[in-house]
């Protein structure tokens, strides 16, 4: 028996990083998954690598910041399997910049993807879950959505949106059987973080972050995915409004 047997889930941003690891863990645990991403080629490659067929895994290529796309991601679950038990609102961008390096366009882009995208996918999911009277949403916050950090002048505030949306929606929908939680990952060895290693300033940032995690290492995408699976599943049936740090002790300092 898998922890998510019979569960129908939507995972956004599933082509790589934490989203991809979440897709893999959810499939291992028995879920049926709608995997979505803006990058159609990347998503196709990830899906092929899982070895699963359309019985358990379907895809939507789209942009979470576009209302019609976000709605289509949730509709795909209902059209394919008749219900939606879980949304993992993972899709996002991670720019590193101080405020004086951040243009208005940079700010708007991060808020559109990480902020509005989370709002739109949560709204579409809640409309279905409210009809069912059940559901579990897991939002991707960050240690940057719980505490300040340098060079995160737009991304950090966008992750505070994720934390805030989680808590407010948890209260708003608790009585209707919908749980809303978040994970707050520390620095995780994803493709996005690995890409930072290509520039000198990016490498200095990652090395410094590594030293700031009490466990003395970066996290792995799968370590976050396991926490997401727990929050998605019935094993966390009395947990809502929680932001679970998966950060090697970073926020405990
Ligand atoms: C994460 C968090 C980490 C940072 C990465 C780039 O959400 O803020 O600390 O290293 O983004």
pLDDT of residue 232: 98
Report, as an integer, the average pLDDT of 34-60.
Answer: 96
The three-point CA angle 36-222-156 to 5° equals: 70
* Structural domain boundaries in the chain: 8-188+221-246
pLDDT at 130 over 90: yes
94 lines ligand 1 (CB under 6 A): yes
β-bridge mates for residue 180, sequence order: 137
pLDDT of residue 53: 83
Name the closest-CA residue to atom 2, ligand 1.
187
Name the closest-CA residue to atom 11, ligand 1.
187
- Which of the four CATH numbers 3.20.20.70, 1.10.1060.10, 3.40.50.720, 3.60.21.10 does domain 8-188+221-246 have? 3.40.50.720
From the candidates 155, 173, 205, 250, give the one annotated as an active-site residue.
155
Distance (Å) from CA 187 to ligand 1 centroid? 5
pLDDT tens digit sequence for 133-148: 999 999 999 999 999 9
Pocket test for ligand 1, best of 114, 186, 195, 221 (most atoms within 8 A of CB): 186
Angstrom distance (rounded) from CA 135 to CA 166: 14
155 is catalytic: yes
Side-chain half-sphere CA neighbours of 138 within 13 A: 30
pLDDT tens digit sequence for 58-103: 999 999 999 999 999 999 999 999 999 999 999 999 999 999 999 9
pLDDT tens digit sequence for 208-244: 999 999 999 999 999 999 999 999 999 999 999 999 9
For the whole model, what pTM was predicted? 0.97
Categorize the per-residue pLDDT at 201 as very low, low, confident or very high, splitting at 50, 70 and 90: confident
pLDDT at 196 over 90: no
pLDDT tens digit sequence for 99-123: 999 999 999 999 999 999 999 999 9
Query: What mean pLDDT, rounded, does the chain reach?
Result: 97
- For 25, residues 6+ apart whose C-beta sits below 8 A from its C-beta are 222, 225, 226, 228, 229
Name the closest-CA residue to atom 1, ligand 1.
187
Distance (Å) from CA 142 to ligand 1 centroid? 7
Ligand 1, residue 206: give the atom nearest the CA: 10
DSSP-assigned states of every residue in 194-227: HHHTTSHHHHHHHHHHHHHSTTSS-B-HHHHHHH
Q: What percent of the chain has pLDDT over 90?
A: 94
β-bridge mates for residue 35, sequence order: 11, 59
Distance (Å) from CA 41 to ligand 1 centroid? 25
187 lines ligand 1 (CB under 6 A): yes
């Amino acid at each position: 028996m898998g922890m998510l047997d019979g569960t129908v889930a939507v995972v956004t941003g599933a082509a790589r990083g934490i989203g991809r690891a979440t897709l893999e863990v959810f499939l291992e645990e028995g879920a049926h998954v709608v995997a979505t991403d803006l990058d159609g080629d990347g998503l196709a490659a990830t899906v092929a690598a899982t070895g699963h067929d359309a019985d358990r895994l379907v895809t939507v290529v789209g942009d979470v910041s576009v209302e019609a796309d976000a709605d289509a991601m949730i509709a795909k679950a209902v059209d394919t399997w008749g219900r939606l038990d879980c949304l993992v609102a993972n899709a996002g961008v991670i720019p590193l910049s101080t405020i004086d390096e951040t243009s208005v366009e940079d700010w708007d882009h991060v808020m559109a993807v990480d902020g509005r995208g989370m709002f739109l996918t949560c709204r579409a999911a809640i409309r279905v879950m409210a009809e069912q009277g059940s559901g579990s949403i897991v939002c991707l916050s960050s240690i940057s959505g719980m505490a300040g950090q340098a060079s995160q002048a737009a991304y950090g505030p966008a992750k505070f949106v994720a934390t805030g949306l989680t808590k407010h929606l948890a209260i708003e929908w608790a009585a209707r059987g919908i749980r809303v939680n978040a994970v707050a990952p520390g620095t995780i060895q994803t493709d996005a973080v690995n890409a930072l290693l290509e520039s000198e300033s990016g490498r200095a940032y990652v090395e410094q972050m590594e030293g700031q995690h009490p466990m003395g290492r970066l996290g792995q995408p799968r370590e976050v995915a396991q926490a997401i699976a727990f929050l998605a599943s019935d094993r966390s049936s009395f947990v809502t409004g929680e932001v679970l740090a998966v950060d090697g002790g970073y926020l405990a300092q």
